[in-house]
Chain A
Amino acid sequence: MNFTFTEEQLLIRETAERFFRDDYGIDTRRHNVAMPDGFCRETWARYADLGWLALGIDEDFGGVGGGAVEMAVMMEAFGRGLAVEPYLSTCVLGGALLRLGAADGVKPALLGQLAEGKLLLSFAYSEARSRYDLNHVECRAVKDGGEYKVTGEKTVALHAGQADKIAVTARTGGDARDAGGITVFLIDRDAPGVTVRDYPTVDGFRAGSVRLDDVAVDAARVLGDVDGGLALIEQVVDFGAAMLAAEAAGVMAALTDQTVTYLKERKQFGRPLGDNQALQHRATEMYIETELTRSLAYMAAVRADDADRTAAARAASKAKVKTGRAGRLIGQEAVQLHGGMGVTEEMPVGHYFKRLTMIDHTFGDAAHHLARLAENPA
């Protein structure tokens, strides 16, 4: 057992933290959010140059290797920097889908493009009536010779409007909530019959509704097994949850730092706010909850590629419950302890609070993962 980072991992962290400290402040973020794509393509190209997009991809496919822990280190730095570039949708979800599910014939080229920053991906698995249930799929795919015809509507697909390809979950058999009969298809965003409604999200990201009208997909573009896609979907979303927990730990650490600084600087009644023990203890709770979240996030990252899928799933759910609950406490306390300044657009604290809140509602909220743990006892 060993909980220390390798030299490579420390180097990734140091490089990423320096980048966000020196080149990516809150004003850069505002600027990037306001761009047509909702993020900065030049910044994305820099991520590629720095090798960040190649993390988790085999050297044989143009990657730099590394795995979930390296990517968690990256995500934590993105959280601290409040980055809006599509790393989660493209590298975390998209990368995992390709790595675990793409056919040998297409995998090397796709992963190579992803590592170079030339391929943006989106994962459209959610539907209007599915809530957080991954098995709830109403979108249909019908086999037609060597291809499938996909019809249906997906909701809240991260960066669907910016992606080059969209991975879509569709039903090749069974009924809306059956575990079997689900298949994942990799569809070109500009394929005939695909309509994406792109919109901003409350935390400065982009998402979209994806309508599919009889969209033709080659059978070679199936990711994972036909009718057996749910295992792949669950593994990828659990991986996403683990990575989000790491991002959340970075957001929490930033909020705690900002709040401690404010408590020391802001004076009322002739002394710093931080002189009040009642407020010191609240900052202390923020710090403790950040460390607990960070620890569970690392555990979930280490477990992510475990052959024992139950262990990996439980680790992801534990991390996600903690992320949701600690995130709510830390976000709310950060705003409250900043007083009126905390509710202004001008202060970074509100932007971090919004991201933390939306992280809870991505890949299943705390209530969903708590129920999942309770209903599937170890």
Chain B
Amino acid sequence: MQLTLTPEELAFQAEVREFLNANIPAETKRKVDLGLKLSKDDYVTWQKILYERGWIAPAWPKEYGGPGWSPIQRYLYEEELAACSSPRLITFGLKMLGPVLIEFGTDEQKKRFLPRILSSEDWWCQGYSEPGAGSDLASLTTRAIRDGDHYMVNGQKTWTTLAQHANWIFCLVRTNTDVKKQEGISFLLIDMKTPGVEVRPIQTLDGGVEINDVFLTHVRVPAENLVGQENQGWTVAKFLLGHERVGIAGVARSKKQMARVRAIARAEMKGGRPLIEDVRFNERMAEVEIELTALEMIELRLLSEEAAGRKPGPEASILKLKGTQVQQAITELLLEAVGTNVHALDPGILEDHWPPEGMNEDLFSPEYAATVASHYFNWRKASIYGGSNEIQRNIIAKAILKF
């Protein structure tokens, strides 16, 4: 056991840090620091910078455009990304579909789609959940019927994050209704410009519109867009959810958010002194930091085991479960930290440019407080999406109880 970084790892960390800090656009950094909305262009511009440097897909094998880093290097990179105020990279192509195509795709599919994921030319979204198939994903009913060299697709996907920016969607569709529900599912790639694809925004409780319904009405999809074998989609889906563990817990981002809590606590006053000097508030910060440190150590242990070639177990579920709990606990600390500044709602924070030029002195509350409440409300989604925390507990229970 060794908690200090080797000289090589330190050199790697310094190189990454220097590049990221020198190249992140100032406006993007400001938006991330204040928790503001980013435009499609903000995401794509930054991803292209990382792409040019060869760092956009750290987990991909070298022959497909990855940098060939070890799990520890990938971990250090995630940490530096968060520290430099990088936006979350759009995961649907980079962390979901990319690895799926590398594992299950045909040579044609790899050649056609992988370079466009790396270059951010394509923006992918995920067509998994349906109104009647949330936690019980396998009961999905979007139907794909083979018709010569095409599939005819009909159905509805929901909770589709940033579908408004996407030009492609990967979908789980039902291709056989006569078998056990997991055995009749296929994994299909659909061009969003195909007639019959309609995106409708869903407003969330914080007032934002990040998620969408995607309606598929008589959508003709070329059969060559099937990934893996017909009716093998459930295997593909499970691979997609389980294969990547670096970053799943959001440790790096949580550390960055804890720094934000401290910065706010230095600005806010309590009992005539800065809040950062309040013992009780420090106790509450310490409680969250203990959980965060434990989570980070679990992640590092798992990465070491992965580097040694051990197969992943149900630990990915711990990372998701505990990771979202820590993230949500930090949103609670932020709420407490800003005190009475929590109340004001500036509708401008829902736009991707805020505040308008020269409006700073007209803000209802300090700039750092503007998004705190809406972030708290919005981030309740974290324990619901990507397999709710109840589903993660089911997975862990199945693994340890072995019923």
Q: Which residues of A contact B (CB under 8 A)?
A: 126, 129-133, 136, 155-156, 176-177, 197, 199-203, 207, 209, 268-269, 278-279, 328, 332, 335-336, 339-340, 342-346, 350-351, 353-354, 357-358, 361-362, 365, 367, 371
Residue B176 CB within 8 A of the other chain: no
Q: Are A268 and B374 also in contact (CB < 8 A) when A361-B335, A361-B339 are?
A: no
> Whole-angstrom distance between the alpha carbons of A340 and B382 in the complex?
10
> Whole-angstrom distance between the alpha carbons of A131 and B385 in the complex?
35
A-B contact sample (11 more), CB < 8 A, given A199-B346, A342-B205: A131-B275, A131-B339, A133-B271, A202-B344, A279-B390, A332-B380, A340-B384, A343-B378, A343-B381, A346-B202, A358-B342
Cβ–Cβ contact B384 & A336, under 8 A: yes
Over the window 361-384 of chain B, the binary record of Cβ atoms lying under 8 Å from chain A Cβ atoms (1 yes, 0 no) is 000110000000110111011011
Q: Are A268 and B340 also in contact (CB < 8 A) when A344-B204, A346-B203 are?
A: no
Residue B280 CB within 8 A of the other chain: yes
Cβ < 8 Å to A, chain B residues 279-296: 280-281, 284
Please report whether the interface of chain A is mostly helix, strand, loop or mixed according to DSSP: mixed
Chain B residues whose CB sits within 8 angstroms of the CB of A353 once the complex forms:
205, 377, 380
> Whole-angstrom distance between the alpha carbons of A18 and B48 in the complex?
59
Closest 4 A-B residue pairs measured CB to CB?
A350-B205, A268-B136, A345-B203, A202-B373
> Whole-angstrom distance between the alpha carbons of A285 and B269 in the complex?
35
Q: Which residues of B contact A (CB under 8 A)?
A: 129, 134-136, 139, 158-159, 202-205, 207, 268-272, 275, 280-281, 284, 328, 332, 335-336, 339-347, 364-365, 373-374, 376-378, 380-381, 383-385, 388-390, 393
Q: Output the least CB separation between A201 and chain B (Å).
A: 4
Chain B residues whose CB sits within 8 angstroms of the CB of A351 once the complex forms:
205
Cβ–Cβ contact B204 & A129, under 8 A: no
Query: Can you list 21 A-B contacts with CB-CB less than 8 angstroms, sorted by A residue number?
Result: A130-B340, A131-B339, A132-B340, A133-B272, A136-B272, A155-B341, A156-B340, A201-B343, A201-B344, A202-B345, A202-B374, A202-B377, A269-B136, A336-B388, A336-B389, A343-B377, A343-B384, A350-B377, A354-B205, A361-B343, A371-B280
Cβ–Cβ contact A202 & B269, under 8 A: no
Q: Are A278 and B390 also in contact (CB < 8 A) when A131-B339, A209-B364, A361-B342 are?
A: yes
User: B376 — nearest CB in chain A belongs to which residue?
Assistant: A357
Q: Output the least CB separation between B234 and chain A (Å).
A: 15
Within the complex, which residue of A176, A203, A342, A367 is in contact with B272, where a contact is CB–CB below 8 Å? A176
Chain A residues whose CB sits within 8 angstroms of the CB of B343 once the complex forms:
156, 201-203, 207, 358, 361-362
> Whole-angstrom distance between the alpha carbons of A190 and B281 in the complex?
40
> Whole-angstrom distance between the alpha carbons of A336 and B335 in the complex?
19
Cβ–Cβ contact B380 & A342, under 8 A: yes
Cβ–Cβ contact B134 & A340, under 8 A: yes
Q: Are A344 and B373 also in contact (CB < 8 A) when A155-B340, A361-B339 are?
A: no
Chain B residues whose CB sits within 8 angstroms of the CB of A129 once the complex forms:
269
User: A338 — nearest CB in chain B belongs to which residue?
Assistant: B384
Number of A-B residue pairs with CB-CB distance less than 8 Å in the complex they form: 129
> Whole-angstrom distance between the alpha carbons of A361 and B135 in the complex?
33
User: B347 — nearest CB in chain A belongs to which residue?
Assistant: A200
Cβ–Cβ contact B207 & A345, under 8 A: yes
Chain A residues whose CB sits within 8 angstroms of the CB of B377 once the complex forms:
202, 343, 350, 353-354, 357
Cβ–Cβ contact B129 & A340, under 8 A: yes
Within the complex, which residue of A136, A156, A269, A367 is in contact with B336, where a contact is CB–CB below 8 Å? A367
> Whole-angstrom distance between the alpha carbons of A356 and B332 in the complex?
14
Chain B residues whose CB sits within 8 angstroms of the CB of A279 once the complex forms:
390
Within the complex, which residue of B158, B335, B378 is in contact with A357, where a contact is CB–CB below 8 Å? B335
Cβ–Cβ contact A345 & B205, under 8 A: yes
Cβ–Cβ contact A367 & B280, under 8 A: yes
> Whole-angstrom distance between the alpha carbons of A268 and B284 in the complex?
37
Chain B residues whose CB sits within 8 angstroms of the CB of A209 once the complex forms:
364
Chain A residues whose CB sits within 8 angstroms of the CB of B328 once the complex forms:
332
Chain A residues whose CB sits within 8 angstroms of the CB of B158 once the complex forms:
340
Q: Output the least CB separation between A285 and chain B (Å).
A: 15
> Whole-angstrom distance between the alpha carbons of A268 and B345 in the complex?
36
Chain B residues whose CB sits within 8 angstroms of the CB of A345 once the complex forms:
203-205, 207
User: B380 — nearest CB in chain A belongs to which residue?
Assistant: A335
> Whole-angstrom distance between the alpha carbons of A365 and B365 in the complex?
18
Cβ–Cβ contact A199 & B364, under 8 A: yes
Cβ–Cβ contact A131 & B268, under 8 A: yes
> Whole-angstrom distance between the alpha carbons of A262 and B80 in the complex?
42
Within the complex, which residue of B136, B336, B390 is in contact with A365, where a contact is CB–CB below 8 Å? B336
User: A351 — nearest CB in chain B belongs to which residue?
Assistant: B205
Interface centre among B158, B280, B346, B377 (most CB of A within 10 A): B377
Within the complex, which residue of B134, B341, B393 is in contact with A339, where a contact is CB–CB below 8 Å? B134
Cβ–Cβ contact A336 & B271, under 8 A: no
Chain A residues whose CB sits within 8 angstroms of the CB of B268 once the complex forms:
131
> Whole-angstrom distance between the alpha carbons of A131 and B340 in the complex?
6
